[in-house]
Amino acid sequence: MSSLSTPKLPAQGILEPLGDEDRDILSGYGEFLPVQPGQHLIEEGQQQNSLFFVVSGKFHATAMRGGHKVLLGSIQKGETIGEINLLDPNVASASVTAVEFSQVWRIDSETLESYINEYPRAAAWLLIGVGRTISHRLRAVNEKIAAFYSA
């Protein structure tokens, strides 16, 4: 008789500071989703209010600019997707598509708010991680802009 194991949130990325028990509790607030190659996780211009944590696989973030699809970056295991709209709800500024079979964990903003209220200490570490992710991505964009104008 075989048994399927319940997916676990790994101690990577924004979840690294959380202990096993904190990650197990957090995982119950969201859902694990399989994503097939070529499947859109997020579509540019569509309402988006969820945070995704990449458990396995790889994604490309793209945006349409001047009628052309522009690759903004790759997102891999241990990284997050959707952190901007989680904090500032709006339409998605880019599409995110699976490059290979992937698994993500998803939590919407309303459910995350419940988690924050019930587990404020662990949630603080989670939100610090989200803030760091946004900061790192902003710095990378600033470097690209500076390189573009200095060329």
Domain boundaries, the chain: 13-150
CATH number for region 13-150: 2.60.120.10
Q: Which of 34-38, 79-83, 143-147 has the lowest mean pLDDT?
A: 143-147
**Pair of tokens at residue 82:** 């959707």
Tell me how far apart the alpha carbons of residues 95 and 126 are, in angstroms, rounded to a whole number: 24
Q: Nearest-CA neighbor of 34 among 102, 99, 90?
A: 102
pLDDT surpassing 80 at residue 22:
yes
pLDDT at residue 2 in the model: 46
Best CA proximity match to 74, nearest among 91, 54, 90, 93: 54
Q: What is the pTM of this model?
A: 0.89
Instruction: For residue 12, give the nearest of 56, 61, 59 by alpha carbon.
Output: 56
